[in-house]
């Protein structure tokens, strides 16, 4: 998301089943709007939770239909239902997809694409190599966020503008 030549290259390692990622998402979305054209956001996956790989495959399938961001938003909005750690119900995700205009039958065909497992594997390997131990973890122009927090993220972004 955002132009490839943006002065700020923001990489977020995230897990769609992570509560902290869900809570941070509106802030990241706001930063993208506030600094429109100045930030390119790249999402990388770190599937720490049990149903994350399933959700990631759904997200990647949604990307094929041009509905990645809408799908991510609806998954985060409904995460307490489908990703409840005491009683997870990932099958509920199928119910949310029509809300963002996805062709669910096509997603059901696409989400088992072995290429998605390779994306997850590569992202996870890169995360380990970079020392990512929790989600969300941010890198700004290749450097890790010095101190985790909303204001800290914005302050470090502003240093590059």
pTM exceeds 0.85, yes or no? yes
pLDDT tens string 69-85? 999 999 999 999 888 77
- One pLDDT digit (tens) per residue for the chain, 161 residues: 888 999 999 999 999 999 999 999 999 999 999 999 999 999 999 998 888 999 999 999 999 999 999 999 999 999 998 887 777 788 889 999 999 999 999 999 998 899 999 999 999 999 999 999 999 999 999 999 999 999 999 999 999 99
Alpha-carbon torsion, ordered 95, 100, 102, 108, to 10 deg = -30
Please state, in angstroms and rounded to a whole number, the distance separating the CA atoms of residues 96 and 80: 13
- Of 69, 109, 111, 78, nearest to 96 by C-alpha is 78
What does the domain layout of the chain look like in residue ranges? Answer: 8-158
Contact 39, 10 (CB under 8 A): yes
**Which of 3.40.30.10, 3.40.50.80, 3.20.20.70, 3.40.50.450 would CATH assign to domain 8-158?**
3.40.30.10
Please state, in angstroms and rounded to a whole number, the distance separating the CA atoms of residues 1 and 69: 9
């Amino acid at each position: 998301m955002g132009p490839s030549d943006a002065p700020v290259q923001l990489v977020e390692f995230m897990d769609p089943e992570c509560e902290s990622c869900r809570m941070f998402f509106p802030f990241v979305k706001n930063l993208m709007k506030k600094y429109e054209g100045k930030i390119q956001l790249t999402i990388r996956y770190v599937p720490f939770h049990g149903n994350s790989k399933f959700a990631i495959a759904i997200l990647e399938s949604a990307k094929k239909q041009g509905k990645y961001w809408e799908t991510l938003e609806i998954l985060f909005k409904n995460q307490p239902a489908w990703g409840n750690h005491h009683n997870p119900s990932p099958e509920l995700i199928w119910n949310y997809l029509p809300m963002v205009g996805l062709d669910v039958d096509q997603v059901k065909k696409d989400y088992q694409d072995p290429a998605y497992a390779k994306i997850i594997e590569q992202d996870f390997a890169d995360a380990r190599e970079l020392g990512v131990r929790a989600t969300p973890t941010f890198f700004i122009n290749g450097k890790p966020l010095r101190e985790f927090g909303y204001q800290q993220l914005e302050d470090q972004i502003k240093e590059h503008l």
